[in-house]
């Protein structure tokens, strides 16, 4: 009996398997063996929706605590062989492929490494390549991976290069120090920042001997120049003794001088003064002298003695303002640098294609990043509403209390759409993508409406016809956004998307109404 059941579940048609699963769901627990449960677990990720549904339903009855029903966790419980098979049959879908790659990498099972390397070498999708080059190094740290990842440092897409650096950083090999040092001269600022960050995380005992050796490779100027950039980032005093001789070489003079000047310390000044005393080249002497002056003056020119006291104070104030502005810009830039590369990559995909790009954006972001991105997008409509209120309302209504109440009111719109997507995902779709995708889809859906609202506000009430055109645009674009989310994130066929897109609006409208009357009491003294 057991072998017959397993044979049908593994080799039967979809109708035969569904019939047997329905029968097993009604049977007694004593008739369900562990082997049958394992087979049903595999079917819970079957391509046939009916088989998948009844497999999940049967598992829910017999092993609710041990068999996890969500599509995400089902995949985690699948054998490695099935996950690899799922990856091969992903049909070019970045979302499905990256989801499967993540589970394979999270397993940290050595047997998946070679198939993933083969997949990487044959992959053409930029999103998957950039994801894999990072995850392989992070989850399977081994020096043997370095030759595999090295070619991707020359990739034309900066996302791939940046993520490959993070993958190599995860290996934590001293061999990567020289690699990161050479990337400090990359044309992309983000790549340079990733390389500098990776380099700084190595302990000095590992980094300094390698950089010291590179600084002495006079027969390989490109290595020396790369090491100068690394010294400029690390600012280790012990490297000054190796930077000093490089000032004698015409090929390395400029980079060595910049590296020493970047220290901005007394030790750097002493090093430059020593070098100036030994060089006979007038141009080099002048350049070193200017560098010393910049260090001593903090790169700020002093007012001349001919200036009046008033002008001196004005210039001081101007310099202070300039310094403050530079500090603000530098601080902002540093904060931007701290933002994970994945956010920029996701935004780039959405910018290139607001519809198909949704799938790629979700593939780039992890669950937490997806929720944060969706939350930020969801705030655009409330902020647009507050902008209109601030612009057009009379002063007497512009109170903190009013703005707070208005913000709550406008927030109900994205919250309603997020809830609508969550309901559709949990009840109608064959494979629920999860709450993070619902937050992302709900937040993204209303971005066109937010843009249209701002444009209408800028046009003003004087041009009703033009405002009406943009209002219609906002509504249609929102509808198209919803349809795209159902297509590319919820993997629904076209006919279902056409039917469910209006349903999203209806469900969101009903939720909005319920929330509105829950939060705002009815009555003649309505605060709005």
Higher pLDDT, 127 or 282: 282
Angle (CA) 295 296 301, round 5°: 90
Give dist(CA 56, CA 49) in Å, integer. 11
> Residue 321's pLDDT is what?
47
> Residue 311's pLDDT is what?
41
Q: What is the CA radius of gyration of the chain?
A: 31
Tell me if residue 391 falls in helix, strand or coil.
Answer: helix
Split at pLDDT 50, 70, 90, the class of 136 is very high
CA atoms within 13 A on the CB side of 22: 8
> Residue 463's pLDDT is what?
77
Give dist(CA 164, CA 17) in Å, integer. 44
- pLDDT digits over 184-209, tens only? 778 876 787 678 778 777 767 767 88
Higher pLDDT, 207 or 451: 451
- Ranges of H-type helices in 236-379: 240-243, 253-263, 266-278, 282-296, 309-338, 341-352, 357-364, 367-378
The percent of residues in the chain predicted with pLDDT above 90, rounded, is: 6
- pLDDT digits over 473-483, tens only? 888 999 998 88
- pLDDT digits over 18-29, tens only? 888 888 887 877
Highest mean pLDDT among 54-58, 304-308, 374-378: 374-378
| 113-127, 176-190, 251-265: range with lowest mean pLDDT | 176-190
Average the pLDDT over 35-63 and give the result.
75
Q: Which of 421, 419, 395 is nearest to 486 (CA)?
A: 421
> Residue 332's pLDDT is what?
46
| 70-74, 360-364, 413-417: range with lowest mean pLDDT | 70-74
Higher pLDDT, 337 or 185: 185
Split at pLDDT 50, 70, 90, the class of 506 is very high
Give dist(CA 50, CA 441) in Å, integer. 26
| 62-71, 134-143, 210-219, 257-266: range with lowest mean pLDDT | 62-71
First vs last Cα of the chain: how many Å apart? 69
Taking the domains of the chain in order of start, what are their residue ranges?
A: 2-69, 341-519
- pLDDT digits over 86-109, tens only? 777 655 555 567 778 888 888 888
- pLDDT digits over 266-311, tens only? 888 888 988 888 888 888 888 998 898 888 887 633 333 333 334 4
Q: Which of 330, 446, 476, 456 is nearest to 391 (CA)?
A: 456
The percent of residues in the chain predicted with pLDDT above 70, rounded, is: 81
- Per-residue CA distances from 123 to 101, 133, 370 (Å): 12, 11, 24
Split at pLDDT 50, 70, 90, the class of 315 is very low
Sign of CA dihedral 295, 300, 304, 310: negative
Higher pLDDT, 66 or 177: 177
- pLDDT digits over 419-440, tens only? 988 888 888 766 667 788 889 9
Q: What is the mean pLDDT of the chain?
A: 78
- Ranges of H-type helices in 379-399: 380-392
């Amino acid at each position: 009996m057991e072998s017959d059941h397993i044979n049908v579940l593994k080799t039967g048609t979809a109708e035969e398997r569904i019939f047997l699963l329905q029968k097993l769901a009604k049977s007694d627990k004593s008739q369900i063996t562990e082997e049958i449960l394992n087979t049903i677990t595999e079917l819970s990720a079957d391509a046939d929706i009916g088989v998948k549904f009844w497999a999940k339903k049967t598992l829910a009855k017999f092993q609710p605590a041990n068999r996890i029903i969500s599509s995400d966790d089902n995949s985690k419980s699948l054998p490695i062989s099935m996950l690899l098979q799922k990856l091969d049959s992903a049909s070019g879908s970045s979302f499905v492929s990256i989801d499967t790659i993540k589970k394979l990498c999270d397993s940290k099972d050595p047997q998946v490494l070679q198939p993933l390397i083969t997949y990487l070498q044959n992959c053409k999708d930029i999103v998957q390549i950039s994801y894999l080059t990072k995850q392989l190094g992070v989850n399977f740290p081994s020096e043997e991976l370095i030759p595999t990842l090295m070619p991707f440092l020359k990739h034309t897409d900066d996302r791939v290069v940046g993520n490959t650096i993070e993958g190599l950083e995860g290996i934590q090999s001293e061999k990567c120090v020289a690699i990161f040092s050479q990337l400090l001269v990359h044309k992309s600022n983000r790549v340079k920042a990733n390389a500098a960050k990776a380099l700084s995380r190595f302990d000095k005992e590992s980094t300094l001997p390698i950089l010291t050796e590179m600084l002495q490779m006079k027969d390989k100027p490109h290595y020396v120049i790369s090491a100068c950039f690394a010294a400029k980032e690390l600012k280790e005093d012990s490297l000054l003794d190796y930077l000093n001789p490089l000032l004698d070489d015409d090929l390395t003079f400029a980079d060595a001088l910049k590296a020493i000047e970047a220290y901005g310390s007394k030790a750097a000044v002493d090093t430059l003064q020593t070098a100036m005393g030994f060089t006979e080249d007038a141009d080099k002497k002048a350049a070193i002298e200017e560098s010393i002056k910049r260090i001593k003056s903090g790169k700020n020119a002093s007012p001349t003695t001919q200036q009046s006291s008033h002008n001196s104070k004005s210039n001081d104030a101007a310099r202070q303002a300039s310094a403050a502005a530079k500090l603000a810009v530098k601080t902002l830039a540093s904060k931007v640098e701290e933002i994970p590369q994945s956010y920029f990559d996701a935004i780039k995909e959405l910018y290139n294609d607001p519809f198909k790009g949704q799938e790629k954006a979700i593939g780039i972001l992890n669950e937490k990043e997806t929720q944060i991105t969706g939350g930020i997008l969801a705030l655009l409509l409330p902020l647009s509403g507050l902008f209109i209120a601030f612009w057009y309302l009379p002063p007497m209504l512009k109170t903190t209390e009013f703005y707070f109440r208005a913000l709550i009111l406008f927030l109900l719109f994205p919250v309603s759409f997020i809830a609508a997507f969550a309901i559709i995902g949990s009840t109608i779709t064959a494979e629920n993508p999860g709450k993070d995708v619902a937050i992302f889809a709900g937040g993204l859906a209303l971005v066109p409406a937010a843009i249209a609202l701002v444009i209408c506000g800028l046009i003003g009430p004087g041009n009703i016809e033009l405002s009406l055109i943009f209002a219609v645009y906002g509504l249609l674009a929102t509808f198209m956004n919803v349809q795209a989310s159902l297509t590319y994130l919820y993997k629904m066929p076209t006919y279902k998307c056409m039917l469910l897109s209006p349903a999203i609006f209806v469900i969101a409208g009903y939720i909005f109404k319920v929330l509105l009357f829950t939060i705002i009491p009815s009555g003649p003294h309505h605060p709005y």
